[in-house]
Structures are given as C-alpha cells and as structure tokens.
Chain A
Amino acid sequence: MNDVCVVGTGTTEFGVREEGIVELGVTAVGRALRSCDVDREDVDALYLGNFVAGMLEGQETLAPLVADSVGLVGVPTMKTEGACASSGIAFRQAYQAIRTGIHDVVVVTGVERMTSAETSEFTRALGSAADHGTDGATGLTFPGFYGLVLDRYMHEYGATREQVAAVSVKNRRNGASNPRARFRSPVTVEDVVDSRLVADPLRLYDCCPAADGAAAVVLASADVADSYTDAPIPVLGSGHATGRSAAYRYDDLTTLEATTLAAEEAYDEANISPSDVDVVELHDCFSAAEIGDSEDLGFFEKGEGAAAVAEGRTAVDGELPINPSGGLLAKGHPVGATGIGQIYEVCLQLLGEHENQVDGAEVGLAHNLGGSGAVSTVTVLGGPSRV
C-alpha cells in the first residue's frame, strides 16, 4: 500500500456566487494545481463530488466537463454522489486509487451552486436526499430530521436549548474571521433561541445557510509528493461507511452509525485515538448535528457534547477546537463542495496558515455526512513533519 499526501489545495469563497457551476469547479481546480508544482501531464485522474447540479442547473457530466475545461483531456474522470458527503466520497475514491497503486496523482474537487435556484426547486432537490417512500412522504425535511434527533437528545441527556445554541454562537464567531465564509457576523445565545422555529426544537440560527462554491485538492503518492511541494500533508487514515437512510431505521437517533463506523476505520488506519486529534472540521449542518458528531467521533462521552461546547472546550483556544473555520453554520453548505472544503480548512491548519490557527496542530480530522445519516466519510490528516 502506498502512502498518500495532499500536495495542493484550492478553493473559491463560499457564499452567493455569480459564477456558473463549471466556472466554480474550474477555478478551485486551477488554484489547487497552481498551489503546487504538478504539471497537467502528471495528473492521472479527476474525481468530482456534486449533489444537485443535474436537478438545479440541468448540468450533468460535470467531471469530464471540468477536466476538459482545465486541460486534462484524456484522463479518466468520475462524479460521486452521496448528498452532503458527495465530495468526501470523491476524496476517498482518489485516496484508494493512489493507495492501491492504480494512480500516482489525482485531482479531487467538490462543486455546488444552490443560491440562484427557486425556493421550490431548491427544497425539492435537497429533499431528494431523503427516502421518498417513508420519511419523505410524511413531509420530514432535513431540519426536521435533526429536530427529531435534538428532541430525543434533550430528552435523554437533559441538554438545554442554550447549550445547543452555543454551537451556532461559536461557529459564527469563528466564521467572522474566515474570508471564505458566507456569514461573517457573530450571533448571541439570545439571537439563536429567539430566532424563528424551523423544525422544533431547531430554530433558524441552528441551521446552516445554502451556498455556492467549490474546493479542490491534489493528491499524490508519498514517493512522488516531494517533487510537487515542500510541505506535503499526509493522509493518515480514511473511513467511509453507510448508516441508516430514514429516521425510523435508528434504534438510537442520537448516534449516527455511519459516522462511528467511518471514524473507527479512519482511527484504526491512522493508528490513533480520538484524544490524539488536535483540530476538527465536522459536519455541523445543524447545531444539533455538531453535538452528535462530536460524540460519534469519540471526542466526548454520550450526552456530554452539548455541555462541552457551552463550556468553551471546543473553541479555537479550547482543549479540542471544532470547526475553527466557522463550519457549515458560518461558511455555508454548498452541499457537494462541503467535504473538500472541510479538508481544505484542515490542511491550512496543519500548514500553520489558518486565520483561526490552532497552536501546534499536528493531527487534523475532517468529517463529512450525507442524507439522514446515510453515508459518512472521515479523513485524518497529519502535519508535513509526519510524512
């Protein structure tokens, strides 16, 4: 098995963008290629994660289209789809192709354009990530799914609405200093608990905003990585698992096993435990999701995640900084771009170049989740000294 490194990164800002879907993808890929010394002739493949371009833009065949537009004619390309985990899956596939020796250099990108869609088209497209025949037929939305999760979580563990609101407060504070974020203004606990109900007990400021954007990385086999960059970021471990695809399928709605299984695989491969992680970007599509994720990833005992946030333990200067980028709650959630966007933020941390830098970050983790807990990828990355 070959070791694999991130040798280049690129992104657009996340937010309301004027560019078309192809331009967004090409911009991120172009920036990733320019950030390192990879020639186009060295690229063996391009993998692209996207969720709703077919439905919202009427544009499919995105992977070859982006590849052709950046001058990568001839290489194999593919699109991966797993709702919000679409580009986490693309990363995983590229990683495995290099690890098993099929390719040496693969470009991975995630792209999405959502904000220009009509509301009805947008909600229909997002709703397609639920099981139409069961959850979908009742009218359960994604905020609704996490409303159910939070309802049960508060019932079982006694977490308070104010503790949960602390997630949005922290992430909006972090996002205020991230130039890639859609929301750049902080909010208070009162702002969150007074915002309008969306899916009880979740309120507007518990929910991430839609966004447009793209992010890209260049992955290379470790034996060639140093010819492309002085600071390769090794992929220490990777996990990818399927969970449940509808709310009724869970015995315990407060644990999404796609995450626990993907994390277990990634930790095993990296030969680390959760306590070895220095910085985390996890899938905070809703405040309730961040709390559950932080427990599913093994950072806190069941039921302690909400108090941990409220106590500041996950702040940038806390014992385990979670979402120093501002996460999805502040950066926004360009669904198919989110997974690579998280990996981009973790890479900046490991290079010591992040706007909200975590002191001495040597091991970083990115966690991507799609659908009603249906699919998850977990990626553990190390600082350049760990190659």
Chain B
Amino acid sequence: MSESPPRFPATRCADCGHLYGHEAYICRECGSETFAEAPLDGTGTVYARTTIRVPGSDQQGEEPFEVAVVDVGGEETVRVTARLEENPELGPDDPVEFVDRRDGVFYFRAA
C-alpha cells in the first residue's frame, strides 16, 4: 500500500452537478456548457483490462501495454478509459490508484 494517491481531476457540471472523468463539451444530463473542477479521491478499481500487443500506428514500439476501464473516486466515482502501469496480473475488481495524466491519458497503478 502506497501513500494516498494524487487527486483525480474530475469535473462537475456547474448547473446540475453531474460528474465527468473525461472532458464533456456540454453536459449530457442538462445541456450546460459550464463545468467546475471537482477533484476526486484517486483510488479506484479495474472494471475490465486488456494488454495491447499489436498497437495502432501512434503507439508503435510501446507494446505490450495495458489499457483498462477504471472506476475512480471514493463516495462518488467516474468511469474512465486509462493506461495501467505495467502489471499483467491486474484484472476486474482489483484495486488501483491514480498516478498522473500525461498527454491527455490517465495512468493508474496497482494499489
């Protein structure tokens, strides 16, 4: 168990309060264009995971790497598509924690 992970940079619709992990351009719930920062607890769990061994053109040479759908947050959670730092053992329902966001991609590691 590591020290408490960095907060996760979620946003919240300023009008209806709906939470977003990935950016939204307008709120899917109410149509608002106004969002506020709403950092969440950086702990989470894996929902599903895969290891990419045949990458697309923009990730040539990075393989193998792991991509997962992660539920992040504490009382409130958001679901995001993210990279996992190398750990092929991780699978559904395993705990992970937020590392950082680089080039627009969320990174998590085993908690």
**Are these two chains actual partners, yes or no?**
yes
A148–B60 Cα gap in the complex (Å)? 20
Complex Cα gap A135–B79 (Å): 12
Nearest first, the 8 closest Cβ-Cβ pairs linking A and B are: A147-B50, A139-B59, A152-B48, A155-B92, A148-B48, A124-B57, A200-B51, A248-B81
Given contacts A151-B48, A152-B47, contact A253 B56 (CB under 8 A): no
Q: How far is the CA of A166 from the CA of B43 in the complex (A)?
A: 38
Kindly state whether residue A211 has any CB partner on chain B within 8 Å: no
B57 touches A127 (CB 8 A): yes
Pick the contact of B54: A148, A199, A251, A253 (CB < 8 A).
A199
Contact of A138 among B53, B81, B91 (CB under 8 A): B81
Task: Assess the A198–B54 pair: CB atoms within 8 A.
Answer: yes
CB within 8 Å of A: which B49-94 residues:
49-60, 62, 65, 67-69, 79-83, 88, 91-93
* Residues 91 to 147 of chain A near chain B (Cβ within 8 Å): 120-121, 123-124, 126-127, 133-141, 143-144, 147
> What CA separation (Å) do A144 and B83 show in the bound complex?
12
Question: A52 to B60, alpha carbons, bound, how many Å?
Answer: 21
Interface residues of A in 271-311 (CB under 8 A from B): none
Residues of A within 8 A of B3 (CB): none
- With known contacts A138-B82, A148-B48, A133–B54 Cβ distance under 8 A: no
CA distance A198 to B52 in the complex (A): 7
CB distance from A207 to the nearest CB of B (A): 9
| B56–A141 CB distance below 8 A | yes
Q: Indicate if the CB atoms of B67 and A137 lie closer than 8 Å.
A: no
**Interface contact B52-A144, CB-CB below 8 Å:** yes
Point out the residues of chain B lying under 8 angstroms from A140, CB to CB: 50, 52, 67, 81
Contacting pair A152 B92 (CB below 8 A): yes
Chain A residues in 8 Å Cβ range of B88: 200
A196 to B59, CA, bound (A): 19
CA A253 to CA B92, docked complex, whole Å: 12
Q: Contact string, A188-214, partner B, CB cutoff 8 A, digits 1/0?
A: 000000001111111000000000000
List of B residues within 8 angstroms of A133 by Cβ: 22-23, 104
Residue of B nearest to A196 (CB): B53
In A144-170, the 8 Å CB interface with B consists of 144, 147-149, 151-152, 155-156
Return the contact of A199 from the options B53, B59, B62 (Cβ within 8 A).
Answer: B53
Q: Does B16 contact A (CB under 8 A)?
A: no
Q: Could you count the A-B residue pairs with CB atoms below 8 Å apart for me: how many are there?
A: 108
A247 at the interface (CB under 8 A from B): yes
Interface size on A, residues (CB 8 A): 38
B104's partner among A123, A137, A197 (CB-CB below 8 A) is A137
Bound-complex Cα distance A147 to B68 (A): 10
Report A-chain residues with C-beta under 8 Å of the C-beta of B93.
Answer: 155
CA distance A137 to B50 in the complex (A): 15
User: Closest Cβ of chain A: how far from B14's Cβ, in Å?
Assistant: 21
Minimum CB–CB distance from B110 to chain A (whole Å) comes to 16
A199 to B56, CA, bound (A): 12
Contact A141 B81, beta carbon cutoff 8 Å: no
Set A139, A149, A251: member contacting B83, Cβ < 8 A: A139
A149-B81 CB under 8 A given contacts A137-B103, A143-B54: no
Min Cβ gap B81→A in Å is 4
Q: Is B26 part of the binding interface, using a Cβ–Cβ cutoff of 8 Å?
A: no
Complex CA–CA separation, A114 to B47 (angstroms): 34
Contact sample, A vs B, 10 pairs, CB 8 Å cutoff: A120-B60, A139-B59, A144-B67, A155-B91, A155-B92, A196-B53, A198-B54, A246-B81, A248-B79, A248-B81
Closest to B65 in A: A139
- In the complex, the chain A residue whose C-beta lies closest to that of B21 is A248
Instruction: Using A248-B69, A253-B48 as known contacts, list a sample of 4 further A-B pairs with CB atoms less than 8 Å apart, ordered by residue number in A.
Output: A139-B56, A149-B48, A198-B53, A247-B81
Q: How far is the CA of A126 from the CA of B50 in the complex (A)?
A: 19
**Candidate in B48, B49, B62, B65 with the most chain A CB atoms within 10 angstroms:** B48
B105 at the interface (CB under 8 A from A): yes
Alpha-carbon separation in the docked complex, A249 to B47 (Å)? 12
Give the complex CA separation of A139 and B107 in angstroms.
12
**Complex contacts, A137 vs chain B, CB 8 Å:** 103-105
* Chain B 1-44: CB-based contact to A (< 8 A → 1; otherwise 0): 00000000000000000000111000000000000000000000
